[in-house]
């Protein structure tokens, strides 16, 4: 039987400090969590309740009391930054050599197991790890070999489907058996099987395999499983609400012998369902361990009571949660300031002025301020207005709006329309989307241009003279014709219409729509670009304006900067001042959540996370109208605003419009009506508007209980109940792989099985 490769396995190090010292400054519930011994422990840690302190003190206390040696402890979290911070704090507390302690992310711990024992599954221990790009390239090659259309069945969407299956512990064979009746999943299943074969042949694993294969090693080798179970007498897991099925099973397997499993988390902060996180892992922990001790941390050390009362009120609307109420012994704090803007520009201007006011009157540094939004596309107006107002800002964990790939590509077309000699733009878009112009063809065009005194941007008109043939010649000719049409179009139409034409006629829109859910997000950014262009008559004016906005040299970063980020990125952060913008129905909560009760609950949890990031000042805003999908639409205040008690809020707004004043007046529209799309290919240069779908048509299927149906995302399922008529028709469907969903049929891509 093979042992462990830990060189420092029996290195005790210097003695830890007195155990009593480690309990100083803890609240009673925190102290109980640190000192508990005797089996499974669930620590329900509300936002800002000091969970990291509890985890690190618990580890140090285990060592100080002699209940564990360093090598008998495994502590797992989700980011390298969090793991490093936890390790540093433990070292500061115990002053001992803890190199033999496993404090790491899930993926790092699994990689450590596999580097020693991958041969159990037939891998060489020197296996390579495929990143997302490697995986998508491999999948693309497989699709091409199978004769599949990579534009319709994009490698990105196939990779996402395979990743989801692996995170649910569904192998290729089981995937085929489960989803074989659905055309999309049947093709994914074909690719999945070949992809797994290629990984094996290449002695490679992707990131999902690190988790699944580590679990596979433990299940396949009883001796190794017993060794790891015996070694790790105490296992601690942070952010347990974010674990997926594989991670949950891995933890339960390792903790099976000693059952000293401590999980820390908060179901109210579970916001990563789109990454396969399963909130049921923490909600059902007590079912898996009926003897588990449960300790709830409700005292908040971050926010004012006003902010906490608002967050408590919002999250209380979610059913099926463990009741808790955050409180603080600190100051109650001032009221939450709410602004109802006329449009998104009015909203952004108010926000800039409000941040400047807080900077001036409260001496709050720019770096202690943050603005949250639901989707990346919303940053564009904020960036423009902050730049105009001279506010320093930085976009956190994401690109500036005009630096996003799809936006830069569309703007490269626009610059090339305005300036036919723009070589950089021509090189960026000549083969985007792909037109069969490889490196050899581009080399010939470049050589011809140089020999004849032309800019590279002018060379496609001389593709035949440059020596191009076959597909490359066709692609270059099509590109030249496209630019001719776009330039003619730009002299007759507005900037917005020209952006529409660029997205439609170039094929950018079609390529993004073929990418599935991820492409939708990128298409939203092009919709936001069209909205920006609608403020300008001529394309040249728009191009010049964008060039100024994108000039980051104008931003003073020396004195700090306001952080702009999505609400998902904000998890784990805190700021003195937090602003949450775009609090409108179909924006936040997102339009996709309006027809799905589970997704709506997650949107509410996301709002709760956003609210509880603020320490002293909380700003909320919405707009009565907003440019979305290239058109100006009336907007309704988010239901989350209505859930905050009125006495907590100082409403700074003008009198709202009388036509609609509440989300309760909203009749859900089909998602297609809300989603921006460029005019259909082939229609831009013609007359009349392109047709737009008004409904999925699912409300006309005449469904009754017992009918079998197929959903584009959730797969096959059985109708349990149907209610309502027309656009208000709803159905309860029990999906084979995703459980029960409440669906608005007119919004739902549903068909009979």
Task: List active site positions.
Answer: 51-52, 238-239, 269, 613
Say which residues have a Cβ less than 8 Å from residue 43's Cβ, sequence separation at least 6: 33, 51, 54, 262, 263, 264, 265, 295, 297
Q: How far apart are CA 123 and CA 548, in angstroms?
A: 53
Closest C-alpha to 657, from 637, 639, 628, 674:
637
Q: How far apart are CA 287 and CA 243, in angstroms?
A: 17
Q: How far apart are CA 201 and CA 138, in angstroms?
A: 12
- CB crowding 523-560: b at 16 or more within 10 Å, else e: bbbbbbbbbbbbebeebbebbebbeebbeeeebeeeee
Which tokens go with 274?
Answer: 């789109």
How far, in Å, are 333, 387, 582, 583 from residue 336 at the CA level? 9, 26, 16, 14
Which tokens go with 379?
Answer: 């940053």
User: SS3 for 81?
Assistant: helix
Closest C-alpha to 582, from 629, 626, 612:
626
Ramachandran angles phi, psi of 265, nearest 5° = 180, -175
Say which residues have a Cβ less than 8 Å from residue 688's Cβ, sequence separation at least 6: none
Which tokens go with 402?
Answer: 């005009």
25: left (phi over 0), alpha (psi -120 to 50) or beta: left
CA 201, 206, 212, 218 dihedral sign is positive
User: SS3 for 438?
Assistant: coil
> Cβ of 318: how many Cβ atoms within 10 Å?
16
Closest C-alpha to 44, from 299, 424, 315:
299
CA gyration radius, the chain? 28
Q: How far apart are CA 322 and CA 295, in angstroms?
A: 12
Distance of CA 29 to the CA centre of its chain: 33
Q: How far apart are CA 23 and CA 45, in angstroms?
A: 18
Q: How far apart are CA 17 and CA 95, in angstroms?
A: 8
Closest C-alpha to 712, from 674, 676, 671:
671
Say which residues have a Cβ less than 8 Å from residue 7's Cβ, sequence separation at least 6: none
Ramachandran angles phi, psi of 41, nearest 5° = -135, 125
**Cα separation of the two ends of the chain:** 52
**Residue with token string 């009749």:** 667
DSSP-assigned beta bridge partners for residue 731: 722, 743
């Amino acid at each position: 039987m093979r042992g462990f490769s830990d060189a420092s396995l029996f290195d005790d190090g210097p003695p830890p400090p007195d155990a009593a010292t480690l309990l100083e400054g803890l609240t009673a519930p925190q102290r109980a969590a640190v000192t508990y011994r005797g089996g499974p422990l669930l620590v329900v840690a509300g936002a800002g309740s000091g969970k990291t302190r509890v985890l690190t003190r618990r580890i140090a206390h285990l060592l100080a009391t002699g209940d564990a040696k360093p090598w008998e402890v495994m502590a797992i979290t989700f980011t390298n930054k969090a793991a490093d911070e936890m390790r540093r704090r433990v070292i500061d507390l115990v002053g001992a050599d803890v190199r033999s302690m496993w404090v790491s992310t899930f993926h790092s711990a699994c990689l450590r197991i596999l580097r020693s024992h991958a041969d159990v599954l037939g891998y060489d221990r020197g296996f390579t790890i495929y990143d997302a790009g490697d995986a998508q390239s491999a999948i693309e090659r497989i699709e091409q070999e199978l004769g599949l259309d990579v534009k319709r069945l994009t490698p990105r969407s196939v990779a996402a489907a395979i990743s989801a299956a692996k995170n649910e512990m569904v192998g290729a064979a089981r995937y085929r058996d489960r989803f074989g009746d659905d055309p999309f999943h049947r093709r994914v299943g074909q690719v999945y099987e070949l992809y797994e074969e290629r990984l094996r042949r290449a002695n490679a694993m992707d990131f999902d395999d690190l988790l699944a294969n580590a679990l596979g090693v433990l299940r396949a080798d009883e001796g190794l499983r017993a060794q790891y179970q015996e070694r790790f007498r105490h296992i601690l897991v942070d952010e347990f609400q974010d674990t997926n099925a594989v991670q949950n099973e891995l933890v339960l397997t390792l903790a099976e012998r000693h059952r000293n499993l401590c999980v820390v988390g908060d179901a109210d902060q579970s916001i990563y369902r789109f990454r396969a996180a399963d909130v049921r892992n923490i909600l059902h922990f007590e079912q898996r361990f009926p003897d588990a001790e449960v300790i709830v941390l409700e005292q908040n050390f971050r926010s004012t009571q006003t902010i906490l009362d608002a967050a408590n009120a919002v999250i209380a609307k979610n059913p099926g949660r463990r009741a808790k109420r955050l409180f603080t012994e600190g100051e109650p704090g001032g009221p939450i300031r709410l602004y109802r803007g006329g449009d998104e520009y009015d909203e952004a201007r108010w926000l800039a002025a409000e941040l400047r006011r807080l900077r001036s009157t409260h001496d709050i540094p720019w770096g202690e301020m943050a603005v949250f939004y639901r989707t990346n596309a919303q940053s564009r107006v904020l960036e423009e207005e902050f730049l105009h107002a001279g506010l320093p800002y930085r976009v956190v964990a994401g690109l500036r709006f005009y630096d996003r790939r799809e936006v830069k590509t569309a703007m490269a077309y626009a610059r090339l329309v305005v300036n036919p000699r723009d070589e950089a733009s021509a090189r960026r878009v000549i083969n985007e989307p792909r037109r069969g112009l490889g490196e050899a063809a581009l080399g010939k065009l470049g050589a011809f241009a140089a020999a004849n005194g032309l800019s590279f941007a002018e060379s496609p008109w001389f593709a035949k003279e440059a020596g191009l043939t076959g597909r490359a010649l066709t692609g270059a000719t099509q590109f030249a014709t496209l630019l001719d049409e776009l330039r003619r179009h730009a002299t007759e139409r507005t900037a917005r219409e020209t952006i529409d034409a660029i997205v439609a006629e170039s094929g950018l829109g079609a390529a993004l729509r073929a990418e599935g859910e991820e492409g939708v997000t990128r298409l939203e950014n092009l919709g936001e670009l069209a909205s920006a262009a609608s403020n300008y008559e001529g394309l040249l004016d728009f191009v010049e304006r964008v060039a100024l906005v994108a000039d980051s040299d104008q931003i003073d970063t020396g004195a700090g900067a306001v952080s702009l980020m999505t609400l998902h990125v904000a998890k784990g952060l805190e700021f003195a001042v937090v602003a949450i913008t775009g609090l409108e129905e179909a924006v936040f909560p997102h339009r996709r959540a309006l027809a799905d009760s589970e997704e709506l609950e997650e949107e509410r949890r996301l709002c709760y996370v956003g609210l509880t990031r603020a320490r002293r000042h909380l700003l909320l805003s919405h707009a009565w109208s907003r440019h979305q999908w290239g058109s100006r639409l009336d907007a309704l205040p988010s239901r989350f605003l209505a859930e905050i008690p009125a006495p907590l809020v100082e409403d700074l707004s003008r009198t709202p419009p009388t036509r609609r004043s509440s989300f309760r007046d909203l009749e859900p529209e089909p998602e297609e009506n809300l989603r921006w799309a460029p005019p259909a290919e082939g229609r831009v240069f013609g007359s009349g508007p392109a047709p737009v779908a008004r409904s999925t048509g699912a409300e006309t299927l005449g469904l009754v209980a017992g009918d079998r149906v197929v959903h584009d995302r959730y797969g096959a399922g059985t109708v349990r109940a149907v209610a309502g008529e027309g656009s208000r028709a709803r159905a309860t469907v029990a999906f084979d792989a995703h459980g029960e969903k409440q669906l608005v049929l007119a919004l739902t891509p549903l068909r009979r099985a």
